[in-house]
Amino acid sequence: MNIIAVANQKGGVGKTTTVVNLGAALARKGKSVLCIDFDPQANLTNYVAGCEPRENSIASVMRAAVLFQPADIRETIYHSERFGFDFIPSDLRLSEADIYLATAMSRETVLRRVLEPVRQAYDYILIDCNPSLGLLLTNVLVASNQVIIPVQTQYFATQGLSSLEGVIGNVRMTLNADLTTVNILLTFKDKTSVATAVTETLREQYPQSVFSIEITRKQEAINSSMMGKPAGGDTGAEYRALADELIAREG
């Protein structure tokens, strides 16, 4: 069992693309995978299953858990044949969570308690985080044992990275000593000198934790999300190679 938070408070860095395509790649290798959409914008949900409204989502279970109402996470799990994984949808109601969590009992551990019934059922649980450093992210970090930080190989890419590392460090020290592995995934890699410079800087600064696989900037990444299917071509191959590297790093 591996619970991986895919996190970066910056938007548009490739979090959702990574959860979906890494999830599909792990599933293709025979792993059992659950992807959780933990962003009120529900991009992962729309990518995998379209925009139809759903009664049950991660938002409804979080809300119920805070109110001590009975709700079983297993009732929110859908399966995607196309992607080969199970997933839990999100919706806009999750944006209220920052407010009701603020006054909730043990507010940082709600998601961990919600996930308890499914923790052991999967080889991998991948969580697509919302782009902020608030209580939703804290809940994900408390429930996880690994973090993957997608970083765009562009100017200002490293800005904010130390704040995120700070939050991860605080969670590890206080609420979750199991949060031991933090890896950086370089995304939107192209042949520009900026991308090369950012890559060199990050590999120098974090020699152990930057994945050797890099995700190239490709139209295929955009097309596959519009068509609601796992990325093919070079992008698909890169995410399958990432799955191999992830598994190798664990071994």
Ligand X SMILES: Nc1ncnc2c1ncn2[C@@H]1O[C@H](COP(=O)(O)OP(=O)(O)O)[C@@H](O)[C@H]1O
Residue 46: strand, helix, or coil: helix
What does residue 164 show for φ and ψ, rounded to 5 degrees?
-65, -45
Q: What's the rounded Cα separation, in Å, for the pair 159 and 157? A: 6
Q: Whole-number minimum distance, CB 216 to ligand X, in Å?
A: 6
Residue number, 15 or 189, with CB nearest to Mg ion: 15
Q: Whole-number minimum distance, CB 66 to ligand X, in Å?
A: 25
Is residue 9 a contact point for ligand X (CB under 6 A)? Answer: no
**Type of residue numbered 223:** N
Cβ burial of 54 (10 Å; 0-12, 13-18, 19+) is middle
240 makes contact, choosing from ligand X, Mg ion, none, with CB < 5 to 8 Å by partner type, with none
Binding residues with ligand X: total (CB under 6 A): 17
Residues 172 to 191: which contact ligand X by CB under 6 A?
Answer: 187-188
Is residue 15 a contact point for ligand X (CB under 6 A)? Answer: yes
Tokens found for residue 81: 């044949």
Tell me the per-residue interface mask from 201 to 220 with ligand X, x by CB under 6 A, - otherwise: --------------x-xx--
| Of the residues 16, 90, 225, 235, which one makes contact with Mg ion according to CB under 5 A | 16
Tell me the per-residue interface mask from 22 to 51 with ligand X, x by CB under 6 A, - otherwise: ---------------------x--------
82, 95, 104, 107: which is closest to 224 by C-alpha? Answer: 82
Residues near 61 by beta carbon (within 8 Å), at least 6 away in sequence: 71, 72, 73, 76, 114
Q: Where are the beta strands (DSSP E) in 70-196?
A: 78-80, 85-88, 124-129, 146-152, 181-187
Is residue 16 a contact point for ligand X (CB under 6 A)? Answer: yes
Among 37-45, 91-99, 212-220, 235-243, the segment contacting Mg ion (CB under 5 A)? 37-45
What does residue 34 show for φ and ψ, rounded to 5 degrees?
-120, 125
Is residue 17 a contact point for Mg ion (CB under 5 A)? Answer: no
Residue number, 105 or 226, with CB nearest to ligand X: 226
Residue 150 near residue 14, CB atoms below 8 Å: yes
Is residue 13 a contact point for ligand X (CB under 6 A)? Answer: yes
217 makes contact, choosing from ligand X, Mg ion, none, with CB < 5 to 8 Å by partner type, with ligand X
Q: What's the rounded Cα separation, in Å, for the pair 140 and 187? A: 22
Binding footprint of ligand X on the chain (CB under 6 A): 11-17, 43, 187-188, 215, 217-218, 221-222, 225, 235
- Summarize as ranges the residues that interact with Mg ion (CB under 5 A): 15-16, 43
